[in-house]
Amino acid sequence: MTDPILAPSSTIGILGGGQLGRMIAQAAASLGYRTHIYAPENDPPAAQVASKTTTAAYEDRDALARFAADCDVVTYEFENIPVEPVSFLAELLPVRPNPRVLRITQDRLNEKDFLARIGVPTTRYRGVSAFDRMAEVVAEVGRPSVLKSSRMGYDGKGQAKILEDSDLATAWRQMGASVGIVEKFVDFAYEASVIVARGLDGGMSCYVPVQNRHENHILAETIVPAPLPADGAAKAQDLARKIAEAIDLIGVLCVELFVTANGDLLVNELAPRPHNSGHWTLDACVTSQFEQLVRAICGLPLGSTERLTDCVMQNLIGDQVHQWRAILADPRAKLHLYGKAEARPGRKMGHVTRLLGN
């Protein structure tokens, strides 16, 4: 029988070359693994710390086949990769999480339908595939609501609010896609998230739920832990475990939540990879979300998710990266820069985690 555990010195292929791929590669190296980045961009952040890089389009099957031949397992750092190349790779070697997970989570309508099938609470929603159905769909869902592109949207892109006086034609143009989803607006107390890991043996481990604060639709700050009562935190973790098992996850999954004023939890989105709201685990947990991913996809035992200290993680967006001198002057601040050359507005350049003590 083949040993399911990939020993150190094996090669982990990573689809995508951004900061998440970079931090996965760093965690893999600390456990003795090599990493091979596959990305269409030249000199992506992950390539600066990886063992090897392939620069090619995701649709280039010859390049994908060569990449697969050099790897022992493949994972991905974001869910907007076309699913067809991932399915092609899965015919050649293990891909974790599997392509079905990607197919569900890269499409908002598929994702909401999946959550509904397994009995996970979400806001009211309906899919819409043509503008001439918008009025009917909005009437079913109600106003205020939000129109989102079914695919490829992130950080607020591909979204339009629908208020009582909103023009639906304008909202459809702002959404900018041929298929969308209308979601009932949630008057939440705050946004939260919980990250769960699931290994090859089906074992699972959760991190503490955290509170997330956004600015201009981009995560600005994560507060650890979230101000949930003990039963609310346990419920959030139970939801994450339920989703991970139902989707047959091998890896890590972030479950983004709305917490209502009366304490109800509504699942907003899923991300089947390390998540921005889990960056704090690098400095404040026994095992980071990135190491946990490596452990899960390589068949290793999952590490402890114990929180060593409370903390606050702040993203460094655009010119905020130039605060690095002041950040390093704080002895309890842990700075992580992503190696991006140009500090454009809205671009995540790094993050800082400030350890608060217990």
Q: Binding site membership for ATP: which residues?
A: 108, 148, 153-159, 183-186, 191, 214, 268-269
d(CA 110, CA 106): 8
d(CA 117, CA 223): 31
At 341, is the secondary structure helix, strand, or coil? coil
Prior bond to 8 cis, omega within 30?
no
Residue 305 to residues 28, 224, 256, 287: CA-CA distances in angstroms? Answer: 17, 13, 18, 6
What tokens were used for 198?
Answer: 């699931």
What does DSSP assign to residue 285? B
Alpha carbons within 13 A on the beta-carbon side of 116? 10
Do the Cβ atoms of 33 and 12 come closer than 8 Å? yes
The 10 Å Cβ neighbour count of residue 144 is: 14
d(CA 65, CA 85): 10
Calculate the CA 164 to chain-centre distance: 32
Q: Of 147, 122, 100, nearest to 250 (Cα)? A: 100
Do the Cβ atoms of 247 and 114 come closer than 8 Å? yes
What tokens were used for 122?
Answer: 């979400």
At 118, is the secondary structure helix, strand, or coil? coil
The 10 Å Cβ neighbour count of residue 119 is: 8
Residue type, 32: G
What does DSSP assign to residue 152? S
Prior bond to 144 cis, omega within 30?
yes
Which residues is 118 bridged to in the sheet?
none
Torsion of CA 352, 353, 356, 357, to 10 degrees: -140
